[in-house]
Amino acid sequence: MDGAGTNSWQIYKVGPFEEKVQTVNLAKGEISSFNLGKNQTYWLKADLKGSQIVFYFSQDGKNFTKLGEADDKSFSSGGVGITVGGGNMVFIDDLQFFQ
């Protein structure tokens, strides 16, 4: 998510690709008729199955809207993480992983 007052999002990976460390965008877009607000709670969900990754967003933790999806065959294994950049701050209340 690109920050308060915006409605854009992006999913990217960072790592050594083609013999140098780079950031590669997997998917990006906008959430129509929506702007992120300050001091609000939001839920993000990623379903990973094989090389397919599907991303979801919710304002209530129950009703999720599909943001986008990517097919990334570049990793045989790896992990999922969260990053905050540009001097912004985020509080993560709960992080859950399910298999």
**pLDDT digits (tens), the chain, 99 positions:** 666 666 777 777 777 777 888 888 888 887 777 767 777 777 888 888 888 889 888 888 899 988 888 888 876 666 666 666 655 556 666 666 666
What range defines the domain where residue 20 resides? 1-31+41-80
Instruction: Give the per-residue pLDDT at 79.
Output: 64
pTM for the full predicted model: 0.66
Total number of domains constituting the chain: 1
In a domain, 24, yes or no: yes
In a domain, 63, yes or no: yes
For the four alpha carbons of 41, 69, 52 and 13, in that order, the dihedral sign comes to negative
CB 27 within 8 A of CB 68: yes
In a domain, 6, yes or no: yes
In a domain, 99, yes or no: no
Beta pairing partners, 9: 29
In a domain, 68, yes or no: yes
In a domain, 87, yes or no: no
In a domain, 21, yes or no: yes
Instruction: Give the per-residue pLDDT at 1.
Output: 61
CB 27 within 8 A of CB 10: yes
Q: Is 55 exposed, middle or buried, given 0-12, 13-18 or 19+ CB atoms closer than 10 A?
A: buried
In a domain, 26, yes or no: yes
Query: Whole-angstrom Cα distance, residue 18 to residue 22?
Result: 9
